[in-house]
Amino acid sequence: MTDTHGTTSGGDRPLAATPQVAVDAIRTPGRVGLLGTEERLAVALVLPVVIVILAVAIYPLVYAVSLSFRQVRFGVPGDWVGLENYRRLVDDPRLFEAFRNTVVFTLSTVSLEFVLGLAIALLINRAFVGRALVRAAILIPWAFPAVVSAIMWRLMFQDQIGIMDYLIRQTGLVHRPILTDETLTMIAAIFVSVWKTTPFMALLLLAGLQTIPGELYESARVDGAGAWERFRSITLPLLRPAIVVAVLFRTLDAWRVYELFAVFSDNRLESFATYIYEAVRVSELRFALGNAAAVVMFFSSMLIALVFVRFFGLRPAGGDR
């Protein structure tokens, strides 16, 4: 006889393992301690990447946050001052000007680029002769480096010699040099940004359009749906993930605008990024203030991304709704 623990009645030796125990042994080969062979291999493969991320991204961020609570001179940490740098930041009128310009620029450019990019994506998604050539030509403005395009457009908006300045004056709407007026310079900067980055928006939206099955449109036509109904009921819902990604990318990119304001406006316009750069320069002796502004900019960018993820449906496939 055997007892319930799988030993003989005499207690001499254990009987053979039950079938279930054998199956479990086959399913978990090489398991030693808390981690098995596969788990140890996964940790070994991921650990170098984690170390690089910690060294390149996390450590500088933590160090920057810690510096924002100190009085820093020439990059050397000084005494602990708590929230004093942030209080000075809030009291600085230049920060509010930079923040206002950044918000206006971001909202204006992203809105215009989305409308124009969607129209272009819908157009070049159709089949027509020379479509490949048109797609390549549309991407040319996006291929220009930001500094090069800023210098090029600055020359075209230059008083007396610029073609854009001449054409706008011929309309009679403007009677003074564009680059000497802050409002006109902002409008011109928005125009230049839309010209340069609309192709990027169109490219992302075009990629989303090409994932929509054509059979859905054919079925809708058979059911009598018009062009607007097909766009509203098929294109927009299925294009939503691509729209969210494209708008998020452009929002974050516009939020950190620097080259266009610094080069095109010759520092007449101030953005969040130009404010930080001017503050952290050694000659300005405002490193602590600029560092605090950089921390604010980082966390504001993170907040923008979280808002998109939480409220606009940017979730991993198969994630909880």
Instruction: Give yes or no for a contact between 89 and 292, defined as CB atoms under 8 angstroms apart.
Output: yes
Q: What is the pLDDT of residue 246?
A: 92
Q: What is the pLDDT of residue 110?
A: 95
Is residue 75 very low, low, confident or very high in pLDDT (cuts 50, 70, 90)? low
**Which domains does the chain show, CATH number per domain?**
19-67 (no CATH), 88-311 (1.10.3720.10)
Report which secondary-structure segment, H or E, holds 36: none
Q: What is the pLDDT of residue 254?
A: 93
Q: How far apart are CA 59 and CA 89, in angstroms?
A: 24
Q: Which residue has the higher pLDDT, 109 or 321?
A: 109
Average pLDDT, integer, range 168-174:
84
Average pLDDT, integer, range 291-305:
90
Instruction: For the chain, give the percent of residues with pLDDT over 70.
Output: 83
Q: What is the pLDDT of residue 311?
A: 79
Q: What is the pLDDT of residue 243?
A: 92
Residue that has been written with the tokens 């040319």 in this structure: 140
Residue 34: CB atoms within 10 Å: 7
> What confidence tens digit (pLDDT) does each residue in 208-259 have?
999 888 888 888 888 888 888 888 888 998 998 899 999 999 999 999 999 8
Ranking 76-80, 265-269, 313-317 by mean pLDDT, the lowest is 313-317
Angle at 219 between CA 117 and CA 204, to 5 degrees: 20
Residue 165 confidence (pLDDT) above 90 = no
Distance linking the first and last C-alpha atoms of the chain: 57
* DSSP 3-state of 18: coil
Angle at 13 between CA 12 and CA 18, to 5 degrees: 145
Maximal C-alpha separation, the chain: 111
Q: What is the pLDDT of residue 317?
A: 43
Is residue 133 very low, low, confident or very high in pLDDT (cuts 50, 70, 90)? confident
Residue 6 confidence (pLDDT) above 70 = no
Q: What is the pLDDT of residue 27?
A: 47
Q: How far apart are CA 166 and CA 174, in angstroms?
A: 10
Instruction: Give yes or no for a contact between 204 and 276, defined as CB atoms under 8 angstroms apart.
Output: no
Average pLDDT, integer, range 75-90:
80
Average pLDDT, integer, range 166-174:
85
The beta strands (E) that lie in 35-168 are given as none
- What's the pTM? 0.77
Q: How far apart are CA 269 and CA 97, in angstroms?
A: 9
Q: What is the pLDDT of residue 318?
A: 44
Q: What is the pLDDT of residue 70?
A: 80
> What confidence tens digit (pLDDT) does each residue in 14-47 have?
444 444 444 444 444 444 445 678 888 888 888 8
Q: What is the pLDDT of residue 321?
A: 43
Average predicted confidence (pLDDT) for the chain: 81
Residue 283 confidence (pLDDT) above 60 = no
Q: What is the pLDDT of residue 316?
A: 44
Q: What is the pLDDT of residue 44?
A: 85
Q: How far apart are CA 30 and CA 41, in angstroms?
A: 12
Residue 312 confidence (pLDDT) above 60 = yes
Is residue 138 very low, low, confident or very high in pLDDT (cuts 50, 70, 90)? confident
- DSSP-derived letter for residue 17 is P
Instruction: Give yes or no for a contact between 303 and 254, defined as CB atoms under 8 angstroms apart.
Output: no
Residue 288 confidence (pLDDT) above 90 = no
Q: How far apart are CA 255 and CA 167, in angstroms?
A: 30
**Three-state secondary structure string covering 177-189:** CHHHCHHHHHHHH
